[in-house]
Structure formats: structure tokens, C-alpha cells
């Protein structure tokens, strides 16, 4: 079955970077896009960007001011989301989500908690 398994929780200091991974299984990895969405405590979901896994093309939300980078390793069926210059406002659960050809997000990872604390 389709499964997205994310890396474990991270604790980072302000100003640092975090890199979260998302390993896919159960489908043709390069046939879909992969999106990243985050959710701060008690807040709505926030879309961060996507990568076309086949081509490597990316699209990011301008709300992250160039701090987010999404990459993939097709040999490992894994995508990565790196967020730079962390502040306390980046404390959130980060999700990867598969995008179908119609762009709906049909399968989500279990989430990765990122805590930013000095």
C-alpha cells in the first residue's frame, strides 16, 4: 500500500537549519509530485511547496522568503525538505503529502515535529 514515512523529531537552535526526509513506498515514486505542509500548534495547515519528483522542478510558497528547499533522491524514493534560519515561529509538525495528477494531496506522512529552542 502507499506509504510515506518521515524522519523523527528534531530540536534545533534559532538560526539553524533542519532537514526532514520522507520515504515513499507502494507506488511509482517518479509519477507524482511531493508537497510539504506544516502545522504550528493550534494553527491551520500551511502549504510550503512541492517538487515534481520525476523532473526535479520545484515550486515554493513566497511566504517562506526563500528559506525552504525541497529535493529528492529517486534512487532512495525519498524527498527532503530543508528549512533555513529557524526561529521559534517555525515550531510545527511538518508533513509530506503526495500530489496526484489533479493536484489533490491524497496520501500524507505521519508528520515530523520540529522544535526551535535556545
Partner 1 sequence: DIQMTQSPSTLSGSVGDRVTITCRASQSINSWLAWYQQKPGRAPRLLIYVASSLESGVPSRFSGSGSGTEFTLTISSLQPDDFATYYCQQYSIYPWTFGQGTKVEVK
Q: Are the C-beta atoms of 58 and 80 separated by less than 8 Å? A: no
Interface with partner 1 (CB under 8 A), residue from 5, 11, 16, 45: 45
Which value, in Å, is the radius of gyration of the alpha carbons in the chain? Answer: 13
Residue 11 beta carbon to partner 1: minimum distance, rounded to whole angstroms: 19
Q: Compute the distance between CA of residue 107 and CA of residue 118 in angstroms, rounded to an integer.
A: 34
- The total number of residues shown for the chain amounts to 118
Interface with partner 1 (CB under 8 A), residue from 1, 13, 41, 44: 44
Q: Compute the distance between CA of residue 106 and CA of residue 108 in angstroms, rounded to an integer.
A: 7
Q: Nearer to partner 1 by C-beta: 63 or 87?
A: 63
Q: Nearer to partner 1 by C-beta: 60 or 80?
A: 60
**Residue span binding partner 1 (CB under 8 A) among the ranges 9-17, 23-31, 41-49, 82-90:** 41-49
Q: Which residues within the stretch 50-89 sit at the binding site for partner 1 (CB under 8 A)?
A: 59, 61-63
105 binds partner 1 (CB under 8 A): yes
Helix (H) or strand (E) holding 108: strand 105-108
Q: Nearer to partner 1 by C-beta: 29 or 94?
A: 94
Longest dimension (CA), the chain: 42
Amino acid at each position: 500500500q502507499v506509504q510515506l514515512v518521515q524522519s523523527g523529531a528534531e530540536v534545533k537552535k534559532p538560526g539553524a537549519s533542519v532537514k526532514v526526509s520522507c520515504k515513499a513506498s507502494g507506488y511509482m515514486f517518479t509519477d507524482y509530485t511531493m508537497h510539504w505542509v506544516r502545522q504550528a500548534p493550534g494553527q491551520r495547515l500551511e502549504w510550503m511547496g512541492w517538487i515534481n519528483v520525476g523532473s526535479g522542478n520545484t515550486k515554493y510558497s513566497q511566504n517562506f522568503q526563500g528559506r525552504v528547499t525541497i529535493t529528492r533522491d529517486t534512487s532512495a524514493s525519498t524527498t527532503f525538505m530543508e528549512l533555513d534560519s529557524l526561529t521559534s515561529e517555525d515550531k510545527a509538525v511538518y508533513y509530506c503529502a503526495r500530489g496526484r495528477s489533479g493536484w489533490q494531496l491524497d496520501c500524507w506522512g505521519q508528520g515530523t515535529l520540529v522544535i526551535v529552542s535556545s
